[in-house]
Amino acid sequence: MRYCQVCHRCFGDGAEYCLFDQTATFLVEQLPVVIDGKYRLEQLIAHGGMGSVYRAIHQQLERPVAIKILRAEFLADRVIAERFNREARAAAKLKHPNIVAIYDFGFLPNGGAYLVMEMIEGRSLREELRTCAARNGQMRPDRAVAILSQVCAGIEAAHRHGIIHRDLKPDNVMIETTVDAVERVLVLDFGIAKLKDREPGVLGITDENTIIGTPNYISPEQCTGQMVDARSDIYSLGVILYEMLTGRTPFASQNTSAVLLRHLQEPPAPLSRFRAGLSGELEQVVLRALAKNPNHRFSSATQFAECLSAAVRSSQRQIEEVVEEFDETVETRPRRPVFISDEITGVQPRSRLDRGLFNLPTSAGETIGEPVGEMEGRPPTLLIERQPRTRFNVAVVIAVLALLGFFSYLWLSEWRAEADQSAASSQNQGPADALGANAANPNRVESSGGAGPANSANGSVQDGVKRPESGGAKTTPASFVKDEAKPEWQTAAAREVKSVYSDWVNAAVRGDWGKHLSFYADRVEYFRDGKLTRAEVGSRKRRILGGFDSYSLKFTQPSQIHLRQVNGAQEADVTFDRQWVLKRNRKKIVGRARGLITLRHEARGWRIISEKQIRK
């Protein structure tokens, strides 16, 4: 079997180039495209520690599946082969909505093995955390608890069957959106699960003295190779929740030994140190799950999920009570009405502390105000609240002054330009002299980066703008001087080049590399790499941008378009500026540069024959 290293599609042994992007394919020796006569491999999904995962189709049922392939060199070891066999038997026992289903299992002719699983059309929790970090920085507590509650439900089902996962991490949690727009969370990869009811023949396969798992997420008892149970998975769930809420694991380090020692000896830092606003109850639940002593953790995944939900509900209830109290205070706060005299009601103006508003005792024991009964017998009044409008009035005045200044500046600039143009015209012999310089060569198109101006009798013409000789009248601004008449073919060609440039840019910004590459010629002078084919250019672009978690590109409108005739063919140089923002993990790379592409008019239209960078 061969697969494309760009789009990862799978082909037969005879396909040396990808049928979609013409990239050279990579040979995977002794792996058939059709496995066991039933499953046809379509695309490589990911590489794992002991093998690879492919997207495949069950040919008889026409159902998409995921197939995990274990390489033959690993199966040469009896312990590893038995571990893979145990993964299939352990996972096949589990039937739960939050656990990836296992459909089939078998061995390959080359000595490898395969495991057929449910195909999840979604994203991993690791990808969700990266997306959340790029947008908001940290995940909302209610969403984090909603995701982890489903993980706990699946893990609890495995624990009831006597299966311990032992490698829980965000990469082994998938999030799928159903047709009802409901998120379904699934746990996968029970490849290192430990069966409590092991058979005598497989004793020692998961040796208690062997550290199995991912260092950042394993429990202290796993670090020392001790006996593990369901509480070990609860510790890993606590680490995952810690990362979801704070954006970092509690014991992160580039040294694996240092990570293991911190799991054993160092208490986790409070979540409030990295994120303000978390409730104390939720923080205590997470720290309890991360207890060093298994006896101090939650006894089951269900208990862990219930405590998490209770902590979130308590936090939301406190917020609602505060909001309700604030609203009540605002509504019942005594306002200061002002009674305005009106001819209809006959009510006269009264002060804010006038009689009838409040019954306040004085020092002499008297009261200010009238009884409530007397107030009810009064004629109706108009109640008008005066609200300060000073800021609004100031903003309106500033806006009006800004508009007046802007229009005044435009009028003054136009007046000065007309005055300068009149003065320049009076110093020259006539308009015919200004056009005489370029009359001998009508096909020439000058840009601001041209070799030099063309001299005339009374001055020079450059960039389509008449410039008097030194010592003459002032130079007329370019924005107020009409360009010289250009040949019709140049005007039409400039429009076509701008249209091609716009489509080329939009395709790159959207990530539509197929359309983006369609604007290149068969061979392109590409930066410092020399002559490359269109497929090689696409492979290089995808390889560079594929190494980042996310990226964004921005292009400006062409600053210059220089048209010319080369060997009877039309060519155009387009100068533009571009910016990029590249993100990988927590690093952000921002840059900008000025680029130059050269297009040639071919039978298929304008095609890019050169792409270079002028300067950064």
CA atoms of 593 and 578, how far apart (whole Å): 6
CA atoms of 298 and 311, how far apart (whole Å): 15
Average pLDDT over residues 387-408: 86
Specify the length of the chain in residues: 616
pLDDT tens string 324-366:
544 444 444 444 444 444 443 444 444 444 444 344 444 444 4
For residue 430, how many other CB atoms are within 10 A of its CB?
A: 10
CA atoms of 26 and 79, how far apart (whole Å): 30
Q: Indicate the DSSP class of residue 380.
A: P
CA atoms of 420 and 319, how far apart (whole Å): 68
Q: Give the pairing of strands 531-533 and 550-555.
A: unpaired
Query: So what's the pLDDT on residue 227?
Result: 87
Q: Report phi then psi at 242, rounded to 5.
A: -60, -45
Q: Report phi then psi at 98, rounded to 5.
A: -105, 20
Query: So what's the pLDDT on residue 193?
Result: 53
Residues near 160 by beta carbon (within 8 Å), at least 6 away in sequence: none
- To the query of whether residue 167 is one of the catalytic residues in this protein, the response is yes
Query: So what's the pLDDT on residue 77?
Result: 72
Q: Indicate the DSSP class of residue 17.
A: B
Residues near 468 by beta carbon (within 8 Å), at least 6 away in sequence: 424, 427, 428, 458, 459, 474, 475
Whether 96 and 182 have beta carbons less than 8 Å apart is answered as: no
CA atoms of 574 and 498, how far apart (whole Å): 9
CA atoms of 534 and 524, how far apart (whole Å): 7
Whether 247 and 240 have beta carbons less than 8 Å apart is answered as: no
Indicate the pLDDT class of residue 529, thresholds 50, 70 and 90: confident
* Choice among 305-309, 343-347, 401-405, 450-454 with the minimum mean pLDDT: 450-454
Indicate the pLDDT class of residue 415, thresholds 50, 70 and 90: confident
Query: So what's the pLDDT on residue 293?
Result: 93
Residues near 339 by beta carbon (within 8 Å), at least 6 away in sequence: 347, 348, 349, 350, 381, 382, 383
The three-point CA angle 224-229-235 to 5° equals 70
* Choice among 144-153, 425-434, 564-573, 586-595 with the minimum mean pLDDT: 425-434
Domains annotated for the chain, with CATH where assigned, are 2-118 (3.30.200.20), 122-317 (1.10.510.10), 337-384 (no CATH), 392-480 (no CATH), 488-615 (3.10.450.50)
pLDDT tens string 52-106:
889 999 998 889 999 988 777 766 777 777 776 776 777 777 889 999 988 888 8
Query: So what's the pLDDT on residue 237?
Result: 96
Catalytic residue among 21, 167, 189, 233: 167
* Choice among 114-123, 308-317, 422-431 with the minimum mean pLDDT: 422-431
**Burial of residue 447 (number of CB atoms within 10 Å: 0-12, 13-18, 19+):** middle
What residue has token string 């205070």? 329
Q: Indicate the DSSP class of residue 350.
A: B
CA atoms of 538 and 541, how far apart (whole Å): 5
